[in-house]
Structure 1
Amino acid sequence: MKFTSAQNDRASGVMLAMACGDALGAGYEFGPPFEGEVLMKGGNGFNWAPGEWTDDTSMAIPILRAAASGLDLRDEGVLDEIVAAWVDWATTAPDVGVQTSGVLRGIEPTASAARASAKRIHDARGRSGGNGSLMRTAPVALAYLKDPAGLAEAARAISDLTHFDEDAGDACVLWCLAIRHAILTGEADVRVGLSALDPDRAALWSDRIDDAETKQPRDFTKNGWVVEALQAAWSAIVNGEGLVDTLERAVRGGRDADTVAAIAGGLVGAQWGLSAIPAAWQRIVHGWPGLRSLDLVRLSTEVLRGKPTEERIDYAGYGDISTLVQHPHDPGVWLGAVGALDNLPPEVDAVVSLCRIGSKQVPARIRERLEIRLIDKVDPAENPNLNFVLADAADAVATLRAEGHTVLLHCVQAQSRTPTVAALYAARHLDIPIDRALSEVSAALPHARPNRAFRAALQSPALTNSRSGRS
């Protein structure tokens, strides 16, 4: 199966949207439902840094890494490695769920030991249906896009490591199959996995899904239970208007807000894609074990492509890639082609890339870096979130400038993407009329000729509306 650009975008959004939901909710965990602004603020009882993810994403990382290495997540040896990583993580993690902590504490770091411990806890308490396996399940979907039956097996096998309860395994199967479906089609539909359950279980879950669609996330007062966590996440998605609104709705539901938002993030990321995730979130999202947003995207890409990410992407065959000029309206913004990364002016300390680059293509001294997914094609299917991406990229440049950074904005040849975003930056933040901005930016770049889809987008008053003073 060869994936389209849009499918790659959606697959790349799964883990990062999950982490963003997690980090967004971290500052509100255990609090009541609320209305109003939702900020990626950190803090709370565990003193999270702004943008830091919690145990939800941390427990997904060993699964993602195993999948990126091409391993079969159903293999007992692979499951042993995942459990060993969890046991090691849990020794220093600031927050480990009550049920998961009970399972992992004091066991041999093997899958069989974890399953035995999970069963003991279930037998002792009479239940073990916490949301701790659903919260981490998203990467399983990436590993089995071509094999839905294998996906269902792997989702349940990994759930069973810490959660003996059948509800937990069912929820992971349903959610992973929904993520797979969203990546492939762009549609969020949690019912697509019902056929993978036994008929009586499918009927039960169908009723639960129906109930979720009549309520809001705040209505699920026991969202630490896997059933209500799934219902709350699905409620946020069916009521949400886009990725950001969905995750904010999930957080406003309160209580186990970070976990519900992380669960919702995996599916809404698969629905809307990486290109719908705000650059402001991407800049600060991070967490155990020392990873950032770009690392999640690269690991996700490695799962899809079945090979490691290149350290450098060779664009030599594309023609002239040496362009490097200052923005005609802001000397603190440099405009360039990808070759400019090898010849950066010393004052440049931030890079915004509008094309695919290798993991080591940006000089190591650059600490502020963003990769914005923007495809230089006119087909709307290639850029399903075009207006959002253009505005977000322009606003990211403005934010970096407001922080005192000198920015390189580049694509492959500074031909279409770079002049478009550079002109929009001037229009939105420097009060330059868009036609003049595009003309003067294009005059400064020797190969500038933005494609007609980008030009058409720039004619939208809502897109080019000045935001000076509000960067």
Structure 2
Amino acid sequence: MTTITSSIAHRAAGAILGSAVGDAIGAPYEFGPARPHLTLAGTAADMTGNHTWAPGEWTDDTSMAVPILRAAADGLDLATAEAQDRIVRDWRAWARVAKDVGIQTSQVFRGMRGDDAPAASVSSRRVHEANGRSGGNGSVMRTAPVGLAYMGEVDGVARVAEAADTIAGLTHFEQDARDGAGLWSVLVHLAVRDGRVRLDDALAALPAPRRDRWGALLAAADGADPDLFQHNGWVVHAVQAAYAAIRAGGIVLDDPATHTPTAFRRTIEEAIRIHNDTDTVAAIAGALAGALVGASAIPVGWQRLLHGHPGLRAADLTRLAVLAVRGGTPDSRGWLAGEKVDYSAWNGRDALAVHPHDSGVLMGGVDHLADLPAGIDAVVSLCQLGAREVPARIGRADVVEVWLVDRAEPDANAHLAFVLEQAADAVAALRAEGRRVYLHCVAAQSRTPTVAALYAVRHLGVEPERALADVASALPAARPNSAFRAYLAEVGR
């Protein structure tokens, strides 16, 4: 049995967020020409949107993944009729209001004589037989949530492959479409479980003849230009393009030293430089890359604008992903399923002070979320929150939740410098938009003073030692942990 550690939860959230941001960033470029010189800044400016999609809005790729994710987050076995019937009903409800539905998927939905998984499977086969093929990439674009299932089970890999095959077949009957979904789901599963993947271990989930074929296909993509696979609406080329983008981004599946924020950003960049189905290739690549690097490696500026059907945002995807990998079992404090997290055992939750170098930033503890001063119109949270803790008057795009753990062990925060800088930069971005910001953690003792000091250093020109001393004077209980202090000391050198 696999224990669901915080590291596994971190990577599970990374898989779902990674897929969704790839989808949203790639959407405006879909079916356009190749963009070999495109670069991403890792900020909200990368979320450009277009006439169809708002900046940060995901497409059908993520909208079709959400029902699978929700079923897993509710603790359903994805291989069962109960889960698959619900997924199909949710898909069809979405399709009635969707801005865009894939051609093949639309054909399957129109041909259904019922509203359950068997009706979808029958229609899927009919569409395949009528067209002579059904190997579109839609089976893989939505498959990341399947990789989060069965995490605590001895035969988890085999069960993931089986569930992915069946769910793919609900709309894509062709063997390639089902194999691509099974292989990619297993890759995500292993990445989340272990933080690294041996490709042979994933390929072993396929029957031997097809295993050899897919191994050769991925070998051909390793080191290739992602745009070489021009028919990326076809599942085989989509998978090859996504794998090529991951490798071009600098990620080696079996080498955690390469699983960095920079490599994740470059992976998405490589995926959307190509022509044709950019958002789907980026969603597929982002799922596996995100599973390897974890949620905290995904730029906060991207997460801040991320949203889509059915009215979800990045924080919602994060909670659903962690619930899914836990088999639907919520935590005891309310982060995953409650409206409020129980921090009653913590002292100092009522801390409150004005930032010594910017009166437009308040620093404090979690209790003040319930009665924020009227002038505060943005929140940067450095601790876990329930679904309804931030007042409804604060726009959801003006709430930034940062994955930052207040522990000093080296493995507590996989990308500590990046996360601290992202948090400080989020405060600066909100201030540049004219927002007054509440920066908080539970008791403003470690995370809040560290980020507040770093904001002063990076954006207000204050020397590090003075910045932390001034923040500590305003927050007398401030005592950043040793890892945070060591980082601030490095900044000052």
TM-score relative to the length of structure 2: 0.91
Deviation per residue, 1:97-140 (Å, 9 max, x gap): 11111111142222112111111121122211110010000111
What is residue 381 of structure 1 aligned with on the other side? Answer: 411
Q: Quick one: distance in 2 between partners of 1:33 and 1:300? A: 32
Distance apart, 1:235 and its partner CA: 0.9
Instruction: Return the letter of the residue paired with 2:49.
Output: G
3-state SS of paired residue (2:489): coil
What is residue 51 of structure 1 aligned with on the other side? Answer: 56
What is residue 18 of structure 2 aligned with on the other side? Answer: 17
Q: For structure 1, which segment, 350-359 or 237-246, has the greater mean C-alpha deviation from structure 2 after superposition?
A: 237-246
Instruction: Return the letter of the residue paired with 1:364.
Output: A
What is residue 5 of structure 2 aligned with on the other side? Answer: 4
Deviation per residue, 1:211-251 (Å, 9 max, x gap): 01030211110111111111111111112142111111111
Q: Quick one: distance in 2 between partners of 1:190 and 1:403? A: 45
Alignment counterpart, residue 361 of structure 1, candidates 389, 392, 396: 389
3-state SS of paired residue (1:133): helix
What is residue 152 of structure 1 aligned with on the other side? Answer: 161
Alignment counterpart, residue 433 of structure 1, candidates 454, 458, 463: 463
3-state SS of paired residue (2:233): coil
What is residue 378 of structure 2 aligned with on the other side? Answer: 350
Alignment counterpart, residue 293 of structure 1, candidates 314, 323, 327: 314
Q: Does residue 164 of the first structure (1) align with residue 193 of the second (2)?
A: no
Contact 1:87/1:105, CA 8 A, preserved across alignment: no
Q: Quick one: distance in 2 between partners of 1:415 and 1:295? A: 27
Q: Quick one: distance in 2 between partners of 1:278 and 1:321? A: 28
What is residue 91 of structure 1 aligned with on the other side? Answer: 96
- Aligned ranges 1:34-433 → 2 under 5 Å: 34=35, 35-38=37-40, 39-43=46-50, 47-107=52-112, 108-146=114-152, 147-241=156-250, 242-305=263-326, 306-307=329-330, 309-367=337-395, 368-433=398-463
Q: Quick one: distance in 1 between partners of 2:117 and 2:438? A: 48
Distance apart, 1:190 and its partner CA: 4.3
3-state SS of paired residue (1:355): coil
Instruction: Return the letter of the residue paired with 2:353.
Output: V
Deviation per residue, 1:253-280 (Å, 9 max, x gap): 2210000001111111111111111111
Q: Quick one: distance in 1 between partners of 2:308 and 2:66? A: 10
Q: Quick one: distance in 2 between partners of 1:403 and 1:19? A: 25
Specify every segment of 5 or more residues in structure 1 that has no aligned partner in the other structure, as ranges: 466-471
Contact 1:178/1:191, CA 8 A, preserved across alignment: no
Relative to structure 1, the CA distance from residue 190 to residue 86 in structure 2 (aligned partners, 3 Å threshold; closer, same or farther) is farther
Distance apart, 1:441 and its partner CA: 0.8
Contact 2:223/2:247, CA 8 A, preserved across alignment: no
Contact 1:174/1:192, CA 8 A, preserved across alignment: no
Q: Quick one: distance in 2 between partners of 1:89 and 1:404? A: 36
Q: For structure 1, which segment, 249-258 or 107-116, has the greater mean C-alpha deviation from structure 2 after superposition?
A: 107-116
Contact 1:236/1:249, CA 8 A, preserved across alignment: yes
Q: For structure 1, which segment, 209-218 or 357-366, has the greater mean C-alpha deviation from structure 2 after superposition?
A: 357-366
3-state SS of paired residue (1:326): strand
3-state SS of paired residue (1:268): helix
Contact 2:121/2:170, CA 8 A, preserved across alignment: yes
Specify every segment of 5 or more residues in structure 2 that has no aligned partner in the other structure, as ranges: 41-45, 251-262, 331-335
Alignment counterpart, residue 444 of structure 1, candidates 445, 453, 474: 474
What is residue 469 of structure 1 aligned with on the other side? Answer: none
Contact 1:182/1:189, CA 8 A, preserved across alignment: no
What is residue 468 of structure 1 aligned with on the other side? Answer: none
3-state SS of paired residue (2:362): strand
Deviation per residue, 1:354-390 (Å, 9 max, x gap): 0111111222222221110111111121111111101
Give % identity. Answer: 52
Q: Quick one: distance in 2 between partners of 1:41 and 1:194? A: 37
Distance apart, 1:65 and its partner CA: 1.1
Q: Quick one: distance in 2 between partners of 1:87 and 1:79? A: 12
What is residue 260 of structure 2 aligned with on the other side? Answer: none
Deviation per residue, 1:143-178 (Å, 9 max, x gap): 221222211111111001011111111111111111
Deviation per residue, 1:414-436 (Å, 9 max, x gap): 11111110000000000001111
Instruction: Return the letter of the residue paired with 1:79.
Output: Q
Q: Quick one: distance in 1 between partners of 2:394 and 2:55? A: 21
Distance apart, 1:304 and its partner CA: 2.9
Q: For structure 1, which segment, 305-314 or 159-168, has the greater mean C-alpha deviation from structure 2 after superposition?
A: 305-314
What is residue 31 of structure 1 aligned with on the other side? Answer: 32
3-state SS of paired residue (1:339): helix
3-state SS of paired residue (1:418): helix
3-state SS of paired residue (2:231): coil
Contact 1:174/1:194, CA 8 A, preserved across alignment: yes
Contact 2:38/2:269, CA 8 A, preserved across alignment: no
Q: Quick one: distance in 1 between partners of 2:144 and 2:126? A: 26
Distance apart, 1:188 and its partner CA: 4.6
Q: For structure 1, which segment, 398-407 or 314-323, has the greater mean C-alpha deviation from structure 2 after superposition?
A: 314-323
